Amino acid sequence: MAAPPTYVNLKDFAVNEVFDAKYKSNLPGIMEKAAEKAVKASSKLTLDKPKDKAAKGYSLDGSLVSLGPDKSGKNLRGECSLIISTWPGKSVKAMPSGNAALPIDDPNKIDAGDVKAVAEGCVKSAMDSATDYMEKHAP
């Protein structure tokens, strides 16, 4: 019989630096949804809290380190980092990071869709490593 999927508790997602403050409040939710999507795509991980009191899993925190136009003004770039720790304890096990970029024509004409795409890309990039780690290592 196959082992039950490993529980992943999505904790805190935060934004350190973003080029325009009007996007800051929406970004944690966008990041969390991208992380949820990655966990749900894995047959070895689950977002469903286990009923067994002795169950172990992982806790996942994330931070958007930066998001804004690069120096050339031709790309919108983002960088994020994740912290994988044991659940219910808090022993840090891994710290994957990811980044993404989107070509832009004018740094003054960046819209919410561009910001969302880069934030999602960052988290997807980091979650590729995070899901790989959580699937291969028992908590």
Question: Sign of the CA dihedral 116, 133, 5, 90?
Answer: negative
Q: Is the pLDDT of residue 1 over 80?
A: no
CATH number, domain with residue 76: 3.40.50.10610
| Interval 39-61: pLDDT, tens | 999 999 999 999 988 889 999 99
3: confidence class by pLDDT, cuts 50, 70, 90: confident
CA distance 62 to 119: 11
pLDDT score for 2: 66
Mean pLDDT confidence for 92-112:
95
| Peptide linkage before 69 cis (omega within 30 of 0) | no
Whether residue 30 lies inside any domain: the answer is: yes
Q: Which residues contact 132 (CB under 8 A, 6 or more apart)?
A: none
Whether residue 17 lies inside any domain: the answer is: yes
Where do runs of H (alpha helix) occur along the chain? 27-40, 112-136
Structural domain of 65? 11-136
Question: Sign of the CA dihedral 47, 124, 86, 59?
Answer: negative
Average pLDDT for the chain: 94
DSSP for 8-34?
A: EEEEEEEES-BSSGGGTTTHHHHHHHH
For 67, 80, 84, 121, 135, the CA distances from 15, given in Å and listed in that order, are 9, 9, 17, 15, 27
| Interval 54-101: pLDDT, tens | 889 999 999 999 999 999 999 999 999 999 999 998 899 999 999 999
Number of domains in the chain: 1
Whether residue 23 lies inside any domain: the answer is: yes
Whether residue 5 lies inside any domain: the answer is: no
Whether residue 4 lies inside any domain: the answer is: no
Whether residue 39 lies inside any domain: the answer is: yes
